[in-house]
Structure 1
């Protein structure tokens, strides 16, 4: 049967419309499915990285804390003596600092000594002896353990004194709170599956048990099949799994998943609209075939090209076609809406990748990119580092929440200045102004950034330290800029010079400081005989005898040569291991005292201690225990400290010094007359001896002003029932004046230079006043 031309045309147009619509639907289906699968795969990969980073951060936190614990002399002493009470207390205290859930100590043969809490039975073999062996061999070993159906991320660390004596364990529980935290970060369902001896032992999950069977592994599913799951009446989860740990008896898998309907919500809506448009297009084609046939091809082609552009990541092009169909207009609008949504979502991801979450400033990585462009264009600019002075103290005193609030307030003040701003590290910001600032403008900048931060009823004082680097004059790359900015900011913090420009001398000083720290730690860990104690006699001017000496530490390093105590003591105090130096000094001094007394020399040895030592509650019992071990009375030692170092916490200092004094040790205030000296401090400190600084004694025989000062200090000390020691006596005339003034003790080159223990024995036996 013949058909009319119109009918043929209509049939042809209808066929073309149907075919074109089907092709378009399939293309959009495939494109959106692949894009959804790609995005979901990326989301799951990011979540996996987040989990790995969280576990790594916890490992680093454990490493830092266990290192502090195993380096603690008191803890080592308790481990060596198997003092369980002290060991438990040390483990519990260190664990509380980082909220650890498991602490334990093992002997070298993998026998449990103790655990806090008592999850591992004491005096029993540990079930993972290979981890103990690894810690002894490598210093540290990390792992994940299953104990009593609980999972722990643990770190084993070798305890040396100086040889290996035990292995300490510290760990965090991998619990429900952790997986809930990961879900909050990644917006993905997280499940930790624990297999013991090949059996599914237990799970830690944000899912309920009924949802386990509804997981569909993305690795085993075709991308075109994924959208169909979203149309199911049942809730389905699409997930991926990876192995976190697998050893002899224990296997741990991580499963990350997301609800299919959530992932494909936008795409389902789009595909539904396309299907509806396809039906309407066929109906219209039946009635208006020939009329719209020519105009229909071009819009469909435009939509196809636009879909390809969207799938290729081109979001700025719009469809510029004169639509004669409302349905095609709706489809175009749907494409434009999808394009805008995808573009917005991508911009959010880019923003998060370039900005710091807390401060909204650029992060370090993006700042490095922007600075690289400036360096490549050979621009001249000024980089200004900004750090909250004493930021750690702010966190410790007011809490980390208020510390974050201070950072946010500082960041907002920097943003208000314009220019380029970024957060480099915890409390360090970078600002690149639009023009080079003068010294006056830098001073004005500091005043703008300083100022209290209000948090509820709290008023938190905030002072900033500023480091200035001129680029490219003083640096030629972002990495070098960051490193040198760290140097100048550290120096500004240490020296309290709150506006400091970079110089080559600062870098040399920084490098030397790092070398001192490295070499000094090496010497303290593996004594090579570079440290030595020298003794400078103190002459009793009443009895004309030497009955006391001052112990002075000396360090002659193979790499650095002779290092002045003023240099390495200050570095050790800032680096936080001055206590180890003090421990070496009193141990060596007690050994030398024992040797002196064996040779008939009875002198009191004065050792210098820092404010950190004074605040250490373990110092006094440790020294007393060591004296008892050598059968020595407490009177053989006395302590000297600089008054200014104690005034930061004078109340606690007075309490600790009183305990030392009550134990039988004499306390001396060193370098009196400089720094913070005042009658109020002098009256409160429980001191027996006052040492006049040598700057007032070196030319005592020549300067009337020094004579008046010395006489006044001696009279003042006597009013407080203190004995007086004059340092820096270099001639007989000065010594005679001190005798006339009623000074009890003299110390200086005129009497004897600092000499080693063997030389002191010979000098003492030959010396006659």
Structure 2
């Protein structure tokens, strides 16, 4: 149900119907509010008009009485009866004339205000006071009218004079305010009219009303007893209807008072409009049904093709690019279907291209690592089913980085393409599948062969690579290291088999042994290396490294003038670990940078302590290839010197020739900045590298350090002596200080002194010692020299 509601078709229908219903509901309630508001305003206007009409009716009644009383006062027989005091005739005339006018009371009043004759003695007694007031008004205006209460009922009363020709008496007539007046008012309007009377300030009681008795009583109970002013009552409920009403005070005396309540039913007033509103609601429902049908048809025409395109998209997701899209329309849906079809064709083409890029090496057109791994998985599965074997060869080219650096990457790419051609040619089509795994690494899968056959294939490849490769008139000699591992002997899955083949390949590269078959011992060595890296990081964190120094002797003065900073590792389990067991590995993994930073920091702290003790010993610190490639090295060393407050001139940095030649440009930049700080620079192990003298001449070095391989046996080997002498002469001719390391006997010291060497370093002078022991050793050395 949830999914159906969220379909495009249903959402379109829901949107259309919701908008229509929202619009109609807003219109419905707006019209209802307008009707109600307009009806109430009209009712209030009608009430104000009805007040005037009711007052006008009362006034017309009064005028009618005045006219009738005036006619009576001009009757000759009536005036003659007054003159003769014919009481019987006077009363008869009053009675007859009052009946013709519908008056309940007709009276003759003398000039002193005393009622002398009347058609009803009972009514006359209740109007005596009003008579006196009316005479005063009539004396001024010629006639007078008022409303008064008699026996709890309101009466309209008028007073006119009897002239002969002066006033001789007064005629008064009274007519009740009764249902006739109310009915006349009711006929003139839609009003409900009620006359209410209150006696001695008590609750109102209905006197005359067009309402039902219960509604009239309810109205009387609703009004406050002391209400005596003209006012509008809004929206009160009587029975099943709502009313608005206007209260008009009619008459009041000492005992009672009467009011008229003019009411208009709001329900009746708005009934025609409510019928119109109900008709509108019916039209809204019918319109909603019609709109639902129309919107459903419209939505179906939109959602149907969209659903077809959605089905096509799912087929595309499943890899089906052949099913046609059968939507023939000339509107936007048709354009969408056409675009979708074009997109499907484009995706199919791109997927084909991506698949090729994902599984094939674009440079050599050989399978890449991903495809080779998948192929190897299949081959291992087949070998397992046939109880057979599957061997893998992995090859890494020798000196390829050097070719890239010297000849450029374009030449390197051409070389890789030639290697791919050689592999395809040499391996043939005997179910052997070569692949390029990345960089200068290649692999070949040999299903169903023995270990000896796999070794023969590796030797065949190595033999083919021994032949020089000519590219663009450039001849390149290139070799390779090949690792070999097989299923099921060495691994049971593709990932493990590739990993162990790679381990064997790296061993072949290190041993320069051509091809090496994997063995568990090789893997143990690799695991030890991984463990060693973790141990070195822990050693740095737990302060297991120690700073050792080996003094350097000036052959001219016989004094100790410098020392080389060395690092030693005191392992909590392996005890003392020699530098050649972890320094090369630290250089391979890049950990040498952290180690160099530690040595420099420890050397700066030792130099500071020596200077405070009065010893001015220059310290030499070894810098590796990775250190030289670090462009931040000068700023790091500067921070260490500032931290320990020692001068840069207290240090000499030793760099091997091979470290400089790996990246001469960056190395030169780093050395220039270090030398500019005030540090001396020394070429370590001079004579064992491949650097050119022309390049070394441009470097800002201060010292050459002859490798110990030439110094150790120079007193017995004339060739070593010649090399040492040539190196000393070369260094001096270039203005450099020359240091010989590996001095292990007095004969070598004497020979070096004769050849003019500046400084000597070796076990004959002193073995490496903790840096903290140097001051005490110097005291002992100086004492021995004095003796």
TM-score by length of 1: 0.50
- 1:233 CA displacement: 4.5
Contact 1:465 1:499 in 2 (8 A): yes
- 1:742 CA displacement: 1.5
| 2:538 counterpart of 1:522 | yes
Contact 2:661 2:691 in 1 (8 A): no
Q: 2:505 aligns with which of 489, 503, 507?
A: 489
Distance 1:262 1:589, change over 3 A: closer
Q: 2:653 aligns with which of 639, 642, 648?
A: 639
* Deviation digits for residues 477-529 of structure 1 (CA, Å, limit 9, x no counterpart): 544422211212333455665544434443233222212222223334xx212
Q: 2:433 aligns with which of 421, 437, 443?
A: 421
Q: 1:759 aligns with which of 770, 773, 776?
A: 773
| Equivalent residue, structure 2, for 1:702 | 716
Contact 2:379 2:390 in 1 (8 A): no
**For structure 1, which segment, 470-479 or 549-558, has the greater mean C-alpha deviation from structure 2 after superposition?**
470-479
1:238 is paired with a residue whose SS is helix
- 1:535 CA displacement: 0.3
TM alignment of 1:587-626, pairs within 5 A: 587-626=601-640
CA RMSD of aligned residues (A): 4.5
Q: 1:565 aligns with which of 579, 582, 591?
A: 579
| Equivalent residue, structure 2, for 1:331 | none
| Equivalent residue, structure 2, for 1:384 | 393
TM alignment of 1:9-158, pairs within 5 A: none
| 2:359 counterpart of 1:356 | yes
- Structure 1 runs not aligned, ≥5 long: 1-227, 241-255, 270-344
* Deviation digits for residues 532-580 of structure 1 (CA, Å, limit 9, x no counterpart): 1110000112222112100111123335554332332222222233222
2:765 is paired with a residue whose SS is coil
1:431 is paired with a residue whose SS is strand
CA distance in 2, matches of 1:407, 1:382: 23
1:702 is paired with a residue whose SS is coil
Contact 2:683 2:704 in 1 (8 A): yes
- 1:603 CA displacement: 0.8
* Deviation digits for residues 100-134 of structure 1 (CA, Å, limit 9, x no counterpart): xxxxxxxxxxxxxxxxxxxxxxxxxxxxxxxxxxx
- 1:441 CA displacement: 5.3
1:735 is paired with a residue whose SS is helix
TM-score by length of 2: 0.49
* Deviation digits for residues 345-381 of structure 1 (CA, Å, limit 9, x no counterpart): 9xx99x9799924444643144123124425645355
| Equivalent residue, structure 1, for 2:323 | 266
Distance 1:595 1:471, change over 3 A: same
| 2:310 counterpart of 1:238 | yes
- 1:458 CA displacement: 13
CA distance in 2, matches of 1:760, 1:376: 70
CA distance in 2, matches of 1:555, 1:569: 10
Contact 1:236 1:260 in 2 (8 A): no
CA distance in 2, matches of 1:393, 1:623: 31
- 1:751 CA displacement: 1.1
Aligned residues: 446
CA distance in 2, matches of 1:660, 1:645: 15
Q: 1:511 aligns with which of 509, 527, 545?
A: 527
* Deviation digits for residues 149-177 of structure 1 (CA, Å, limit 9, x no counterpart): xxxxxxxxxxxxxxxxxxxxxxxxxxxxx
Q: 2:699 aligns with which of 656, 671, 685?
A: 685
Contact 1:421 1:429 in 2 (8 A): no
CA distance in 2, matches of 1:393, 1:729: 35
1:729 is paired with a residue whose SS is coil
CA distance in 1, matches of 2:616, 2:669: 30
Distance 1:544 1:437, change over 3 A: same
TM alignment of 1:322-401, pairs within 5 A: 356-358=359-361, 359-360=366-367, 362-374=371-383, 377-380=386-389, 382-387=391-396
TM alignment of 1:650-669, pairs within 5 A: 650-669=664-683
- 1:386 CA displacement: 2.6
The structure with the larger Rg is 2
